Structure 1
Amino acid sequence: MTDEEQGLVRPETLFSFDTEYSADSCEYNPELGILATGTYQVNKLNPESESPETEKLGRIYLHKLTHTPNPDSQPESPVGLDSHLVSRLESPAVLDMKWSMREPVLGVVNAKGQLVIYKYTPEEQTASMLSSTDISEGLALALEWNIYYDRIIVSDSKGKVRVLNYTDSEPVVINEYSEHGYESWTCCFSARDPNLVFSGGDDCSLNCYDLRTDGLVHKNSKIHSMGVTAMISDREKEHQLITGSYDEWLRRWDERNLKREVDSIQVGGGVWRIKQRGQRFLVAAMHGGYLVLDNMDIIARYKHGEESLSYGADWINDTTAASCSFYDHVLKLWRFS
């Protein structure tokens, strides 16, 4: 059944930007009006070799988004949203990024196993590095701030999860867990209990840790049939956790009991990002495109193109989203009714 036959909204494209390198993360800061886009590019140093050495390059683009009061006078921006590039930063290949909403800083994890903190300066419309912390012997894959923006959780390709205190100085590791057999693709803090953190891995395991203890407190490796790749603690509904997997299912859990999900929906692609805005979720579903869900009902789907791999997504406002894709290296802004 097609999206039209299912009655799904067909979004309209507002803006398109070639990121040159493959794009996998876009994060919007509404206070600054800045959209950050991270990229990941693997280059072969000696293509003729049977086992060529590679380098993993990245770039961070910063776009300033402004709303124009009279859309009719802006033909290049037909719905009153204008975007222009204000800065680009060279970097090791970017895996994930998150803004702090307490101060104008952007946390970035990269292919060199580093957690890098950038500070954005509105007057100069660019970002400068505040700190760089070697945090993994592999690739640093995902990060999230807690609700107070004074701690950061990072997961890596070695299956480890680390929690750091964040102050004005270097972030400091306070907890470390090694409970995944393969890559730990994703991690998050509970939005309700400051002591609970979660991670998901390529071992199909959903793990829960208590920062007051040294090890695992809950584990479920029976429900996800493939790797757990995305998660978010619901900011609207108490004790609710949302996970996504390579198995193409989005699942809702009760954080206090991880024996079985309380709701689920198949989204037509492996889930790589989940972003919340009120009761709605924005999902980047790899080959399935980008979806908007109202609670757990799909209401809109947007696709860059047949060759794209949907990796990065974030909300701009209630009806507008940003998305970036891997193979076709494109950042887009789009709106749904």
Structure 2
Amino acid sequence: MDNSNSNSNSNNSHEGCYFNRLLEYTSDSVEFYPSFKNSTLFTAGTYQIEQGDTEYKERRKGRLYLFDIEKDNKVKELQSIDFNSGILDMKWTHHNNISQQYENDAPLLGVVMSRGELNVYRLNAADQEQGERRLELVCRNDVSLDPSILTLSLDWRTDNKEIVTSYSDGSLALFDVDGGAVTNRWIAHDYEAWICAYNYHNTSMVFSGGDDCKFKVWDTRTIEAEDGGRSNSSGATPIFTKRCDMGVTSIHCHPALENIVAVGSYDECVRIWDLRSMKQPLTQTDSLGGGVWRIKWSPSDNNHLVTACMGGGFHTLSSEDGTFTDLSIKSSYQGPHQSIAYGVDWSYTNSSSTDKQQYIGCCSFYDRCLSVWTP
């Protein structure tokens, strides 16, 4: 790959766009480094199916990028890692308190792949000669029962000792990071389990959403391990099951406000749930113009979240009074994107930062477009 343009932007005439670049493969995931000190670092993930007559699993490939936002509308590529498997989701480790984000800890990056792999990376210390950061592989594990079963999403428990993963066969699994093995696996949905997430305020509670149009809440203490987690259990029973009009694609527990969970669906709506009262959501938006593939709560403002809405572009949403009985579009962004909006994330910033600028990174699929904008 020619990296000669890694410090240049292709066209920043789009309103609000800080930087944009076309990646070599189709792009689907963006994650900012969860630290106020390194708030300009972010990763991007891609998933490509090559032309050919062999099975899809033999033709999938991907690339993981590490970028750093510089001044003067420049984003520098620090690293790229190639795989014979496509990247489907990435998440950094996190804590449940926005004000205590990794000032002294070393976050880990979990990456799930189309062949069922889970890769975990650590950001190394800056090289003394070049002064650039690099991702270093900590461990690699096969967490799917079969390479034809895609690992679709992941999330970290807040103690960073466990990862939940979801799969194209509708199952969920719990992965013990220290032990390096799956400990529990169960059938959660009738079709693809598009998304899984932890409750950041209750480490035994897991959320999932699937193509069967259901949002489910699980208590992992009631799910028994079977055969070292290598077989599926159909006997697991969720605490709650809520139905949407179409498949559930995105879930994010509020990192600072206990009991508040945002859920996105192919039906183009965001629903905010209060776990203390699950009869109906606190609010449901009108159509956002496309299926809500990713939702991310803001790390600097409890009342804001951002969405990647497939055919509807990217939106920041806000609850004006903080009760989440209302939720309205605060800003929208299309920029140079001409394809399915899949990946989105906020950078970390706070009032004491020397650079108070907050960025949103986003990517779209078929046009291979990655951009950074300023909300």
- Asked if these proteins are the same fold (TM beyond 0.5), I'd say yes
Deviations 1:116-143 (A, max 9, x none): 1122213242223221111112000001
Q: Percent identity?
A: 32
Cross-structure match for 2:245: 225
Counterpart of 1:235 in 2: which secondary structure?
coil
Instruction: Name the CA shift for 1:152/1:249 in 2 (closer, same or farther; >3 Å).
Output: same
- Poorly superposed stretches of 4+, deviation over 4 Å: 51-54
TM-score normalized by structure 1? 0.86
Q: Is 1:203–2:242 an aligned residue pair?
A: no
Deviations 1:257-300 (A, max 9, x none): 43321211021210011111122101000000000011221110
TM-score normalized by structure 2? 0.77
Deviations 1:32-75 (A, max 9, x none): 442100000011223xx9x8885111001110224x4xxxxx4x
In structure 1, give the amino acid aligned to 2:62: G
Please list every run of 5 or more consecutive structure 1 residues that lacks an aligned counterpart in the other structure.
1-9, 69-73
Q: Is 1:286–2:286 an aligned residue pair?
A: no
Q: Which of 69, 86, 96 lines up with 1:93 in the alignment?
A: 86
Q: Distance in 2 between matches of 1:211 and 1:53?
A: 31
Asked if structure 1 preserves the Cα contact closer than 8 Å seen for 2:251 and 2:262, the reply is yes
In structure 2, give the amino acid aligned to 1:204: C
Cross-structure match for 1:164: 175
- Structure having the larger proportion of residues in strand: 1
User: Once the 2 structures are TM-superposed, how far is the Cα of residue 302 of structure 1 from its aligned partner?
Assistant: 0.5
Q: Which of 24, 43, 54 lines up with 1:36 in the alignment?
A: 43
Q: Distance in 2 between matches of 1:303 and 1:234?
A: 25
Cross-structure match for 1:17: 21
Asked if structure 1 preserves the Cα contact closer than 8 Å seen for 2:16 and 2:335, the reply is no
Asked if structure 1 preserves the Cα contact closer than 8 Å seen for 2:106 and 2:123, the reply is no
User: Once the 2 structures are TM-superposed, how far is the Cα of residue 221 of structure 1 from its aligned partner?
Assistant: 4.6
Q: Distance in 1 between matches of 2:221 and 2:80?
A: 40
Asked if structure 2 preserves the Cα contact closer than 8 Å seen for 1:11 and 1:300, the reply is no
In structure 2, give the amino acid aligned to 1:273: R
User: Once the 2 structures are TM-superposed, how far is the Cα of residue 233 of structure 1 from its aligned partner?
Assistant: 0.8
Cross-structure match for 1:7: none
Q: Is 1:45–2:52 an aligned residue pair?
A: yes
Q: Is 1:309–2:307 an aligned residue pair?
A: no
Q: Distance in 1 between matches of 2:337 and 2:156?
A: 34
Deviations 1:9-52 (A, max 9, x none): x9511111111101000101043442100000011223xx9x88
Q: Distance in 2 between matches of 1:111 and 1:257?
A: 36
- State the superposition RMSD in angstroms: 2.1
Count residues in correspondence.
309
Counterpart of 1:322 in 2: which secondary structure?
strand
In structure 2, give the amino acid aligned to 1:209: W
Cross-structure match for 2:60: 56
Q: Distance in 2 between matches of 1:268 and 1:148?
A: 37
Please list every run of 5 or more consecutive structure 2 residues that lacks an aligned counterpart in the other structure.
1-13, 95-104, 128-132, 224-235, 320-326, 350-357
